[in-house]
């Protein structure tokens, strides 16, 4: 009864950590297909079957990478909103979006793993969703600050948005407009970033950074009920 996490457990956790580190290195270098039980084992000087003591299958290892990547992306974007001194809401929205895009450009293979490679194959685990929602909650808070109250009658879409907000732990009383803009901001940003990573904008000779900047400004203007700048 030395420690609650026994020494054995500690070295085991250390091994798991190293497996994931080496896996991320291989992932970043050559994409998810390069993360094989054999390649990871070789990278750590272990025989491949030894990894099965830690992950029941290659798929489980990849899922662990997904959860970690989601958590990293979520905490990175959430941290971008918490500056000292605090920024006003529009600046925070811009920073959150920048952080999302920058993370995706810094780790394009990880971003592809999260949002592309596994599309329609395996659905996200609750852990993964919770990780990325850290950033979403910050975004929603900023949007709520500048979203003008809407006297509109609530549509079915609004109702489902409110339910979603409650489900992810947003504070009560969120405006449906803020919730909708949160979803649309995320969706637009994802579209831009995934096309940018694929090289589409570069092939078109367009500056993706400028496209992203104007797109985010549009979201902010819409929250304020102002006309987007053309």
Residues that bind a copy of itself in the complex, under the rule CB under 8 A: 31, 108-109, 112, 115-121, 123-124, 129, 150, 152, 156-157, 160-161, 163-164, 167, 177, 183-184, 187-192, 194-195, 197-200, 203-207, 210-211, 214-215, 218, 222, 225-228, 230
Residue 160 binds: one of a copy of itself, DNA, none (C-beta under 5 to 8 A by kind): a copy of itself
Q: Considering beta carbons, is residue 53 or 82 the nearer one to DNA?
A: 53
Cα–Cα dist 33/3, whole Å: 39
By three-state DSSP, how is residue 203 classified? helix
Residue 217 binds: one of DNA, a copy of itself, none (C-beta under 5 to 8 A by kind): none
Residue 46 binds: one of a copy of itself, DNA, none (C-beta under 5 to 8 A by kind): DNA
Nearest residue to 107 (alpha-carbon basis) of 201, 24, 207, 185: 24
The residue ranges that bind DNA (CB under 7 A) are 6-8, 11-12, 15, 36-39, 41, 45-50, 52-54, 56-59
Take residue 8 and report the two structure tokens written for it: 């054995």
Q: Is 184:215 a contact under the CB 8 Å cutoff?
A: no
Q: Is 76:103 a contact under the CB 8 Å cutoff?
A: yes
Cα–Cα dist 98/96, whole Å: 5
Q: Considering beta carbons, is residue 41 or 108 the nearer one to DNA?
A: 41
């Amino acid at each position: 009864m030395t420690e609650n996490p026994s020494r054995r457990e500690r070295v085991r956790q250390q091994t798991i950590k190293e497996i994931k580190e080496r896996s991320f290195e291989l992932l970043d270098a050559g994409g998810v297909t390069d993360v094989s039980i054999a390649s990871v084992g070789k990278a750590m000087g272990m025989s491949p079957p030894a990894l099965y003591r830690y992950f029941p299958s290659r798929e489980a290892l990849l899922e662990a990478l997904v959860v970690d990547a989601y958590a990293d992306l979520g905490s990175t974007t959430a941290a971008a909103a918490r500056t000292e001194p605090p920024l006003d809401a529009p600046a925070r929205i811009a920073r959150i979006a920048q952080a999302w895009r920058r993370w995706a450009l810094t780790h394009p293979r990880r971003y592809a793993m999260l949002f592309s490679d596994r599309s329609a194959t395996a659905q996200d685990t609750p852990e993964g969703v919770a990780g990325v929602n850290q950033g979403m909650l910050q975004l929603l808070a900023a949007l709520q600050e500048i979203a003008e109250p809407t006297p509109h009658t609530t549509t079915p879409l609004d109702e489902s948005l409110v339910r979603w907000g409650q489900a992810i732990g947003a504070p009560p009383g969120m405006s449906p407009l803020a919730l909708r803009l949160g979803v649309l901001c995320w969706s637009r940003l994802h579209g831009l970033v995934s096309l940018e990573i694929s090289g589409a904008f570069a092939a078109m000779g367009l500056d993706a950074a400028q496209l992203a900047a104007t797109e985010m400004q549009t979201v902010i203007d819409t929250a304020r009920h102002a006309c987007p700048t053309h």
